[in-house]
Amino acid sequence: MNDLEKNFRKVSETTLHEGFVVTYNQAVFEGPQGEVLERDVVRHPGAVAVVALDKGEVILVNQYRPALERNTLEIPAGKLDVPGEAKTEAARRELIEETGHDCIELTLLLEFHNSAGFTDEITSIYLAKELIPTEAKAVSIEEEYLTVIRLPLEEALKLTRDGTITDAKTVIGLLAIGLELNNS
């Protein structure tokens, strides 16, 4: 903890609503000189996502997102909602559920805070290599109707640049892989 962090102190936090995925809280903090900061804080269990590479192609899913009221093109992902499940196992579970692929090699690429201004959600992005076809196991209505799409990595990267792919975890994951491949 740095000196600046030591000067802020949480005074209270009250749960206003506990939802299916997130908990909506109101928190009060005290600043370095006694200032009072009231903030809305969304608590989230965290999520995992997978950049699945197979013979130069990335596996994406096109699925309906109710908050946006439209389909989005994304890397497979899901929330950490199974008690005691390791992040790597959650990533593997999501890969199987959404794409019908398992993998031999699964490594952590990076972790990021989705929107640090109001939520504690953190997403862990994994790289899956040496894919093994298996049976998809959809567990949600959206997953039942998603479409699996394979694209050359370079084409997927172009879709991030032209605004077709706007999902943050997907943009971050694809750009991270693109940078890693360019530096190797």
Q: Which residues form the catalytic set?
A: 142
DSSP type of residue 21: S
Quick one: tokens of 113? 């805070």
CA dihedral 21, 145, 97, 180 (to 10 degrees): -90
Secondary structure class of 175 (helix, strand, coil): helix
Distance CA 169, CA 67 (A): 16
Based on C-alpha coordinates, what's the Rg of the chain? 19
Residue 52, strand partner residues: 59, 128
Secondary structure class of 142 (helix, strand, coil): helix
CA distances from 45 to 21, 60, 61, 139, 172 (A): 8, 23, 22, 18, 20
